[in-house]
Amino acid sequence: MAEVIRMPKMSDTMVEGVIANWLKKEGDVIKSGDIIAEVETDKATMELENYEDGTLLYIGVKVGEAVPVDGIIAIVGTPGEDYSSLLADAPAAAVAAVEASPAPAVATTPAAPTVDLSSIPAKAVRMPKMSDTMVEGVIAKWLKQVGDVVKSGDIIAEVETDKATMELENYEDGTILYIGAKEGEGVIVDGIIMVVGEPGTDFQPLLQQVAAPVASVPAAPVAVATSAPVKEAPKVAESKAASSGIQADAKGGIIKASPLAKALAKEKNINLNWLQGTGDGGRITKSDVENYQPNAGGSTGNFISGEESFEDIPNSQMRKTIARRLSESKFSAPEFYLTMEINMDKAMEARVSMNEVLPVKISFNDMVIKAVALSLVKHPKVNSYWMEDRIRVNKHVHIGMAVAVEDGLLVPVIRFASEKSIAQISAEAKELGGKAKNKQLQPKDWEGNTFTVSNLGMFGIDQFTSIINSPESCILAVGGIKETVGVKNGQFYATNIMKLTLTCDHRVVDGATGAAFLLTLKQYLEDPIKMFI
């Protein structure tokens, strides 16, 4: 699916940028991290880094032309892809962004009338928008510290977005005077991260000046709903304490622990409440975690005997995005559900035969993905997007494969699945699943799905329903294979049944359309030879 590249805000006072030089041209294949252009801001000429993988389909700005911050400058996608709808939607979004951006300045400029900010030899560095759905980033690791001299182009931190952990590039030259977020803390898009300038500079007016705009950034109702809890005073205090190795105990006091002990406890799934620190002032050390005995001190598992207790776990960026997107889907799409039983006897026999001759081991999930891909070709309406003012019927099949990870759920994508052999699908599914669990997925791995398959059969779940992955119109929930008793001509026999449930957006897919898709899918799975003819 094509993605828009917009003009980033490269300095605190930048309102537009001029394309000084294009380093890539239409038709070039680019990847995340490539420098695609040089941009002249109000401060300097800087390199523009790309965050999307694909082919440069469209360049909307010529050398020497100016683009407002957040204005469209290019489109990246798959060769031959129709991106006209993105251009049609872009002007309104750009205009809205330009019109909205001066508002905070008007509201906050009078708040600090006594200070000329332009005379302060320091600049605020803000959190950039690193993905299309990002509303805030968590500082995973600082690579620089207060007092370090940095220059434009230096990598200063690693930031956890809702999609991946990415490197944060600096655009200001000078000395780091202030760091506003500790490791593990979240910063909303355009929020202040640090201040760079001349040593000894009084940078407090910058912090006061940016406070109001930063707080008002999440203007979208959904973003406010998911971000607001992070702004509550108790939550912020808790986050800061945790990042410095201090956690609240069950009685409302604090637990002091070294960062290494904290990391090791998390790795071993040990609650710091269970430990008695031997360090200075009762601080928990690495050896305290290593020497912990599960039943010491009367603790039983995760519970404290005879004592009311709880543990607050801050939401990760992934969990926040899952909540936001699924809420959008659940409360906006009129869903209905269709369930069908599949006789898997022949599929089980076919899998045994395939695994005897193919170079990779075929799973039942691989067979489902292959059958779904072929069924979508025959029922393209199920392979569609709801786009508010139109329905986009996709002419390609990209299957999203829901994968459970520690922090939530990721959906890596098997592209052009209808054109791939089952061995190719199996190999790709294993590779993507491994990347997802190791947090190695890149934007190209999770973008563009036209249909999603969610399988809980391996957990012993017979049947369930899934929430549609917007803007898709359907999602398939796959249950486990269960041996049961069948009846034929009055005779009982043992057979194997799998239940599939299709969740449909009624705005796009009617009951008969969904049923026809499931019937085709049933035919492929109950007689797998049809998938290979």
Show the 3-state SS of 349-409.
HHHHHHHHHCCCCCCHHHHHHHHHHHHHHHCHHHHEEECCCCEEECCCCCEEECEEECCEE
pLDDT band (50, 70, 90) for residue 502: very high
* Cα–chain center distance at 90: 22
Element (H, E) at 282: none
Strands (E), 396-490: 399-401, 403-405, 408-410, 413-414, 451-455, 474-488
- Which segment of 99-103, 254-258, 422-426 scores lowest on mean pLDDT? 99-103
Could you say which DSSP state residue 450 is in?
S
pTM (predicted TM-score): 0.51
Q: Residue 213's pLDDT is what?
A: 37
pLDDT band (50, 70, 90) for residue 18: confident
Where is mean pLDDT largest: 38-42, 68-72, 109-113, 410-414? 410-414
Higher confidence at residue 83 or residue 114?
83
pLDDT score of 371 more than 90: yes
pLDDT band (50, 70, 90) for residue 130: confident
Mean pLDDT of 118-130: 83
From the CB of residue 113, how many other CB atoms can be counted at a distance below 10 Å?
Answer: 7
Where is mean pLDDT largest: 33-37, 270-274, 289-293? 33-37
Determine whether 314 is exposed, middle or buried from the number of CB atoms within 10 Å of its CB (0-12, 13-18, 19+).
middle
pLDDT score of 102 more than 90: no
pLDDT score of 517 more than 70: yes
Q: Residue 90's pLDDT is what?
A: 53
Determine whether 280 is exposed, middle or buried from the number of CB atoms within 10 Å of its CB (0-12, 13-18, 19+).
exposed
| DSSP-assigned states of every residue in 40-73 | E-SS-EEEEE----EEEEEE---TT-EEETT-EE
d(CA 171, CA 247): 34
Q: Residue 140's pLDDT is what?
A: 86
With a CB cutoff of 8 Å and minimum separation 6, the contacts of 27 are: 55, 56, 79
Q: Residue 92's pLDDT is what?
A: 41
d(CA 164, CA 442): 7
Backbone angles phi, psi at 346, to 5 degrees: -70, -35
pLDDT band (50, 70, 90) for residue 107: very low
- Which segment of 220-234, 291-305, 382-396 scores lowest on mean pLDDT? 220-234
In 504-522, which positions are buried (b, 16+ CB within 10 angstroms) versus exposed (e)?
bbeebbeeebbebbbebbb
pLDDT score of 351 more than 90: yes
pLDDT score of 215 more than 60: no
pLDDT score of 216 more than 70: no
Q: Mean pLDDT of all residues in the chain?
A: 79
Backbone angles phi, psi at 285, to 5 degrees: -110, 175
pLDDT score of 4 more than 90: no
pLDDT score of 304 more than 70: no
Higher confidence at residue 221 or residue 3?
3
Record the tokens describing residue 337, joined without a space.
């559900």
Mean pLDDT of 381-404: 93
The CB-side HSE value for 445 (13 A sphere, CA atoms) comes to 21
Residues annotated as catalytic are: 506, 510
Higher confidence at residue 40 or residue 114?
40
Strand partners, 504: 336, 474
pLDDT score of 124 more than 80: yes
pLDDT score of 109 more than 50: no
Higher confidence at residue 519 or residue 180?
519
pLDDT score of 292 more than 80: no
* Cα–chain center distance at 236: 23
List pLDDT tens digits, range 74-98. 999 888 888 888 887 554 444 333 3
Q: Residue 320's pLDDT is what?
A: 75
Q: Residue 115's pLDDT is what?
A: 54
Mean pLDDT of 189-197: 88
Mean pLDDT of 465-491: 93
Higher confidence at residue 400 or residue 271?
400
Higher confidence at residue 392 or residue 160?
392
Which residue, 365, 381, 420, 431, is CA-closest to 398?
A: 420
Q: Residue 252's pLDDT is what?
A: 41
Q: Residue 422's pLDDT is what?
A: 96
Which residue, 87, 107, 97, is CA-closest to 8?
A: 97
pLDDT score of 360 more than 80: yes
Mean pLDDT of 324-350: 90
For the chain, the straight-line distance linking the first and the last C-alpha, in angstroms and rounded, comes to: 30
With a CB cutoff of 8 Å and minimum separation 6, the contacts of 100 are: 219
Mean pLDDT of 187-211: 82
pLDDT band (50, 70, 90) for residue 327: confident
Tell me how far CA of residue 282 lies from CA of 256, 315, 387, in angstroms.
7, 28, 58
With a CB cutoff of 8 Å and minimum separation 6, the contacts of 181 are: 139, 187, 193
Number of H helices, E strands in the chain: 13, 28
d(CA 273, CA 296): 12
Higher confidence at residue 425 or residue 210?
425
